Amino acid sequence: RRLLGERVKLLKSRLTQLERQRGVRRRARERRDVLTVSLVGYTNAGKSTLFNALTKAGAYAADQLFATLDTTSRRLFLGDAGNIVLSDTVGFIRDLPHSLVAAFHATLEETVAADVLLHVVDSSSEDREGQIAAVNAVLEEIGAGSLPQIQIWNKIDATLASPEVQRDACGNISRVLLSARTGEGLSLLRQVLSDIALAHKAPLAATSETQDSV
């Protein structure tokens, strides 16, 4: 119990420092009007592995609780769509200890500032639906429940599924099936992100032209 208390104090101290750094980075991105995408998901869903596969950034990826503490952000170049900012966030869990709730909410402020959420799911987990619900509950609690979200069903190499982009009844992309570990389906995700980035740029360009004509 004493060791757990020391761990909690260490986490709180580190999170306080990271919160200041995130504020600076977030304001800088807002000035550039760049599409920002945050990876969210239950702990051990493979967010950091996916982040590394997309950006080659070398973010710490391990099969343990809170392996990712800081919100790591990198630019991702998507050809004609240009650059976007991709962020890897702390993994969510059910029933987060009350002593850590406030601290982790501060960490997750980066998520609220995103334009799009990629909700990474361990598709091989028998509890995936429960984990999805737990993540969505936290997103609602921190004010990110209404942000555009695409589910990324990761670890298809451990199932019989094939890489695929799935759409809802309205034709909107709702899910991408892939394996961050093997790279299967990563090209599909990159194309999805490219299309979103181009759509994000269109209204910004129109606004700029309107201002120039005034």
Range 2-213 has CATH code 3.30.420.40: no
Task: Please state, rounded to an integer, the average pLDDT across all residues of the chain.
Answer: 79
Residue of 121 and 55 predicted with greater confidence: 121
CA 47 to chain centre: 7
CB of 177 closer than 8 Å to CB of 163? yes
pLDDT at 32: 57
Confidence tier at 57 by pLDDT (50, 70, 90): low
Per-residue model confidence (pLDDT) at position 13: 66
Q: What is the pLDDT of residue 90?
A: 74
For the stretch 65-107, pLDDT in tens is 444 445 678 889 899 999 999 988 877 767 666 556 566 666 6
The predicted structure's pLDDT at residue 213: 45
Please tell me the distance from the alpha carbon of residue 101 to that of residue 95, in angstroms, as a whole number. Answer: 9
